Structure 1
Amino acid sequence: MTNNKTINYFKCFGEKILTSGLPDFESAALELYKFQLENNLIYRAYVKARGLNNKVVKDLIDIPFLPIGFFKNHQVISGSKRHFEGFFSSSGTTGSITSKHYYWSEDFYLKHSLNLFQREYGNIKDFHVLALLPSYLERKGSSLVSMADYFISQSESEHSGFYLYNHKELVSKLNVLAASHKKTLLLGVTFALLDLLESGLSIPKNENLIVMETGGMKGRRVEMIRESLHQVLKEAFQVNKIHSEYGMTELMSQAYSKGDGIYNLPPSMRVYLRDVNDPLSWSERSQGGLNIIDLANFHSCSFIETQDLGRKIGEDKFEVLGRFDNSEIRGCNLMLN
């Protein structure tokens, strides 16, 4: 595909996602498979190495999923690098190799992310957005920081903003907002929320507070069972449910949980289960490794074999149960179940 055709394809597909103008999910995914097999050198090489390059794909379960580790050592892009504005990078741990996800348009990513949030929670202007993301703010290239910054600006609230380790200032803001008629979204990396609770500061009760954890422990704390973690957070913040955001550097879409770790799939994503002992086979059990199709990855690779373990709940919900033992700590939810 020529350079101009590639850019036009990105613009057209992106616009369809933003306006919900795509055909049915399966048709769109099969179209992307053909496009990426032709235009993504890394994905094509992987499919060829598996001996599947000549296979006729008629169903989504026939599509090969690219192991997520390829984003660490390769430029997983469909087309030429000059088509891309930049890249998001994963947080990783000290000394680890981070993933890079090149994007053709940060504006598309931000608008798409806002659409997905508003689909679950309503107009962002009805929120004060407080982002407690210390480990992400301390480095460059975080897709989560870009998303949170966009949410903050779009909320148009003078109270919205980022917080690093300034717990006293954050609690002071929560006290002010306890009297607000608008909802308050506290989006926090998990370890930072626990650090806040251990600061000894008194958290005010706010009937309109939504506490949303994301990002796991980042190597700062011992991992906790999700139920135990959420119980600690619920008691401290005096809320009935703890919300969660499921996202990662290698995906352009996010899924949200409004409690109990059950995530609602957005229209741009689907989840499949693979056998934990044979990653090339589908799981016949209720649990398995999570393979994700993200249509919003049309510019890179839409078919990702993650290192998360989980289960499907019907066709539109899923739960993350943990991670494979040999996988690195990553930026999505890591609580073992």
Structure 2
Amino acid sequence: MELQNNKSQTEKRQALREQILTLQPANFERLTLEIFRYQAAYNPVYNQYIKNLNIIPEHITHLTQIPFLPVQFFKNHIIQSGDLPAPSAIFQSSGTTGQQTSQHHLFDGTLYKDVSARIFRDNFGDLKQFHILALLPSYLERNNSSLVYMMQHFIEESGSDLSGFYLKNVDELLQTLTCLANNPDGKKVLMLGVTFALLDLAESDHDLSFLAKIKELTVMDTGGMKGRRQELLREEVHDTLTGRLGVDKIHSEYGMTEMLSQGYSHGAGLLMPGFSMRILLRDINDPFAIYDHNINSSKTGGINIIDLANLDSCSFIETQDLGRFGEKEGSFYVMGRFDNSDIRGCNLMVM
């Protein structure tokens, strides 16, 4: 009987996995409800959480009725849906000294890579069109970062000998950028970095005027001062970066250890979730009052994330971020953090 149940779970998981990879917008809500029922049945932590709320999964018929697991559960529990082999990686949030960090067990690296590559492609084009320069010193100093895992895949997919990571070797980074400025080959250049590292580069004594020669340079901020610099408003950071790096806007990436999908901003802090994501907001005073995008866009609430790529953990996360919806359907802004929450290292700056 147990063998039969395991087979049934495996078959259900495989069917859901295939639907995630081929997902179209019209099928998002239907697939979300299917994954909710799957995780309600096969995720012990989520199952117990639902029971404690006296919720019957079969009675859930709309996205706003789904219970969202508080993100803090990733600090104290292994969040796993189904009987799975050993994880291929265990991602850990950065945190600060003495702070308990979150862990996210990755059981399907291929799913993570395929979803994140499709989200990037939907926003910026094929990875093979890019040279990718990743300025991520604080992440490279540890070996359990989900961002480094994703960027390693992007660098490999770019197929460029000039793509790579940069720890503290700014001179090598500038040498590569100079080469790309003086020898254009038709490819775009993506320079992605943690906030403090981009600021350090922008405020250095190096002459960066040559960057204006790179016609298709995308500078992307992943957020995070990591305790290295004073926290600044996003506008302050991006004004400094645009003024010194020869670009007219700064792109941003929204992600965290506890999720496998990403959102991207093409400027001004307006974020669009990836195809496998949906952002809902919850009332600040009532975490079970959840609303979708068809409300007043000026209303601020706690960000709840539906992340279908989290098939093997939990796709329904109640974050400690504050946000509001943008005017464009599905878009959102990150406004800051709840006062009593931990400072998360991998986060956009306060708006």
Deviates more, 1:199-208 or 1:111-120: 199-208
TM-score normalized by the length of structure 2: 0.91
In 1, distance between residues paired with 2:240 and 2:5? 55
Task: Say yes or no: does 1:234 pair with 2:234.
Answer: no
How far apart are residue 331 of structure 1 and its match?
3.6
Identity of aligned residues (%): 50
**Retained in 2: the 8 A contact 1:137–1:145?**
yes
Amino acid aligned to 1:289:
G
Structure 2 residue 349 is the aligned partner of structure 1 residue 335: yes
**Cα shift at 1:10:** 3.1
Deviations 1:275-304 (A, max 9, x none): 112222236762111001111111111110
State whether residues 261 and 309 of structure 2, in contact with CA within 8 Å, keep that contact through their aligned partners in structure 1: yes
TM-score w.r.t. the length of structure 1 is 0.95
More moved, 200-209 vs 188-197: 200-209
Q: 1:161 aligns with which of 164, 171, 177?
A: 164
Matches within 5 A, 1:89-100: 89-100=92-103
Rounded to whole Å, the distance in 2 between the matches of 1:300 and 1:197 is 38
**How large is the RMSD of aligned CA atoms in angstroms?**
1.8
Cα deviation 1:223-247 (Å, max 9, x = unaligned): 1111111110000101011000111
Q: Which residue of 2 aligns with 1:276?
A: 284
CA displacement at 1:9 relative to structure 2: 3.1
The worse-fitting range, judged by mean Cα deviation, of 80-89 and 40-49 is 80-89
Report what 1:301 is aligned to.
Answer: 314
Q: How far does residue 11 in structure 1 lie from its aligned partner after superposition?
A: 3.1
Which runs of structure 2 are paired with 1:48-67 in the superposition (5 Å)? 48-53=51-56, 56-67=59-70
Structure 1 residues 168-179: aligned runs within 5 Å: 168-179=171-182
* Residue of structure 2 in register with 1:225 after alignment: 233
Q: Secondary structure at the match of 2:157?
A: helix
Contact 2:253–2:262 (Cα < 8 Å) also in 1: yes
What are the equivalent positions in structure 2 for 1:27-46 lying under 5 Å apart?
27-46=30-49
Contact 1:273 1:290 in 2 (8 A): yes
In 1: Cα distance, 2:204 partner to 2:102 partner:
33
Residue 244 of structure 1 corresponds to 252
Task: Report if the CA contact (8 A) 1:309-1:324 is conserved.
Answer: yes
Rounded to whole Å, the distance in 2 between the matches of 1:61 and 1:33 is 12
1:59 to partner: Cα distance: 1.1
Measured after TM superposition, the shift of residue 270 of structure 1 is 0.8
Structure 1, unmatched stretches of 5+, are none
Unpaired stretches in structure 2, ≥5 consecutive residues? none
Query: Which 10-residue stretch deviates more, 140-149 or 276-285?
Result: 276-285
Of 174, 197, 203, the match for 1:198: 203
